[in-house]
Structure 1
Amino acid sequence: MRTNDNQRKPSVVHVRGLRMRYGSTDVLKGVDLTVAPGEVVALLGPNGAGKTTTIEVLEGFRKRSAGDVEVLGVDPDHGDETWRARLGVVLQSWRDHGRWRVRELLSYLSLCYEPYRARAFDLDELIGSVGLTDHAGKRIGSLSGGQRRRLDVAVGLIGQPDLLFLDEPTVGFDPEARREFHELVRGLTGTTILLTTHDLAEAEKLADRIVILVAGRVVADGTAAELAARIAGEAEVRYRLGGERHVLSVADSTGYVRNLFAEHGTAVDDLEVRRASLEDVYLALVRESELVTA
């Protein structure tokens, strides 16, 4: 966690029994979610799980069918301009006027936030943080897809939000840009972040906590390590000894390896211990939940 005082502060996001129905179809079926100040929470789930609907309700873009929701202490259905100015939103995609230049657009948006914040954002610092320094004077319509996505992120940050929603934020980023973005997010001390992504490595790298949503229900909520412990069971230990390759599944990998070296010492070669990864956890929980709801 990036803040050690979360338990003493009111929740930034507090959701209980959130339901959403479209016609006769229940998309959200009693979602509970709490996000503490300064926390980075990743919302994961297969397509159709209800992630986007949940985010849209929290942002105030969609009215819920039932349940209690508070975001920054306010019911999103009744959030005013002051409340909205405390949110930053990075959508999967959005359209704007391609004739704007990068710095011009950000400068204009910065002015819109002036009545709601104590200090102005340093535009050059922001543009540099998303890797667009060399493109600040270019028209948006001339940007590549990856550059356009970086601008989306800058737009979400321009108001210095208390709560930042990131919906698939690194789509279109090359590896270097993705790494730079991850560094940017980790440096946003004090900003609470709710992230949706299909990139499990990204979720594990950025999130303090991971929430997995399947078929409109939360099926898991915890750190990557806590979720792994739910399905870890036996770990796979691989090593070479006396010219032979050994592959075993053991319940206590630490104890097994300790005993292995106590007995054979440096004769043990090419040792590898594989525990459940976040991908293993995610796939197992999704499959388990889909079987239950089938």
Structure 2
Amino acid sequence: MDLSNMRAVMVAGRGGLVEAALRAISKSSSLQAGDVIFYAVEKNEDAVMTLRARARHRDEWKAHSVEVVCSDLRDWTPSTGPLDVVISEFLGSFGDNEASPELLTDAFLKRILKPNGVCIPRGYTSFCQPMMCPALWTDIRSLMADTTTALGAGGLANSDKRLSTPFVVITNRCFYPSPSVGAQEVFTFDHQRPDEDHSDDHSDSGDRFKSLSFPVEADAVIHGLQGYFECSLYGSVTMSINPKTHTPDMVSWFPIFLPLASPITVKRGQVFTWNIWRRVDHTTRRMWYEWCVTSPCVKPVQNTNGSYYYVGL
């Protein structure tokens, strides 16, 4: 890659990612102002106003070539042809829960990147483990205690919308009944160049399913699953909120919590099995998760058809 004539696009938000890239250039011994042309693409018009103000008034922006573009990244095509780098910040606490795979599709990357182009992040994997946390579960239930409905073929009494909705949380008073196993892998997405051979990585977006089993090491009451992610940014550079591999001092993401509609009592020696589906409907432009417990008892599927929670695409 020619470092003296790079062109990069980034999902800009209100400019934090752009400024981080500009700081990286200022610290580089092989790059200087003007070597990289940045396209800061953002579809939120309010955020675009902030970006344009920064481009006009901040010295570090004016010292580089930063073009602010008001557009959905998926609909934008650079007038100068394919780019060297795509940088995005679509990662959520569960890795793919902000629809990054549906935005950074193989078709999009093949259209916008050069053959040797780079996508940052390169890929990510979600993880989860069962958790006992009565205070958190009670707090979530109390948010909409008056909203009751039935879910699934067998019905799910006394369950409200919040108990079929993932939450980003800070957990202090919690217990993990399967510490030896810890968090297990759920879904992996890879954003290498689509003409590279990674057919086993399932990089195309679509429905996915995973069944996870956890040996119970202590009597407990499971209130939900706590989720994390590990991410490969570029080369050997990684970041993680998985407790076993957590990036030191990183507080940009907190774990996600997928609650159970009703707590499950488990005994030492039993196996707790939990199923999760990642659903995508391109007609309605929605992505959502469905989940249920199948051991030591069988419970109805929660959030069927994204009836309570979904992410718009």
Q: When the two structures are superposed, what TM-score results if normalisation uses the length of structure 2?
A: 0.24
Between structures 1 and 2, the one with greater strand share? 2
Higher relative contact order structure (alpha carbons within 8 Å, sequence separation ≥ 6):
1
Q: When the two structures are superposed, what TM-score results if normalisation uses the length of structure 1?
A: 0.25
